[in-house]
Amino acid sequence: MAPRAQLSQERSRQRREALLEAAVDLFVEGGSRAVTHRAVAAAAGLPAATTTYYFATIDELLREALNHHIERWLETVGKLADVDVAGLMSLITRDTSVQFASTVLAKRTPANSTRELAVILGAARDPQLREAAVRALTTGQHLLEDFLHKAGIADAEGLAEDLVALIAGVALRRSAGVNPEEEEPAKVVRALRNLVIGHLLEDETGTRMLEELRDRTLSGRSDASP
């Protein structure tokens, strides 16, 4: 049987954890104005005075909550570092790519996207938390870079950077409900395909294609002119 002191410490840890989670939930739902001592305690199912016992100010509570959430997210991302790249790549074919994307998006719901975006944006606006927000983004980028390098992509760093921007854009689109969820997998696969193909092209080839597109566009405008 655990000593009484250990039980008390565990109960204290659980209460503090509950307050941090509640603060993040309120922040995601209503922004920083929704995060008050009373609201956080109520959302955590704890007495109103509990928040001031653990946190001197509401700003301290919110900062700790956002930072705590980012740190937990980074721990989750870190576990993906040892993924079997060859095994994962073997699952992605022309016929299964959309289904594969559907499986991934099903595990990362729009609610998840909204939560992560809100936390990272909230941290980025706070000078004391901006470093944590940057770390969250760059950690994901470095993980993608390592994955792409193992997959044989030449410009792994550049593609990883662009993929982070694409992922953030998709998360924002899903959060806003721009498209029906059943349409998202195919749209994501299309975007990924175009992005990867663009990186696989040599700079000179890609530039030449853009110049040809420019010339066709200008020519079309010229033909349409009176």
Cα 100 from chain centroid? 19
Assigned CATH for 80-224: 1.10.357
| Average confidence score pLDDT of the chain | 87
Q: Domain residue spans in the chain?
A: 80-224
- The answer to whether residue 27 scores a pLDDT higher than 90 is yes
Give me the mean pLDDT over the 140-152 stretch: 88
Percent of the chain with pLDDT over 90: 50
What's the pTM value of the predicted model, to 2 decimals?
A: 0.77
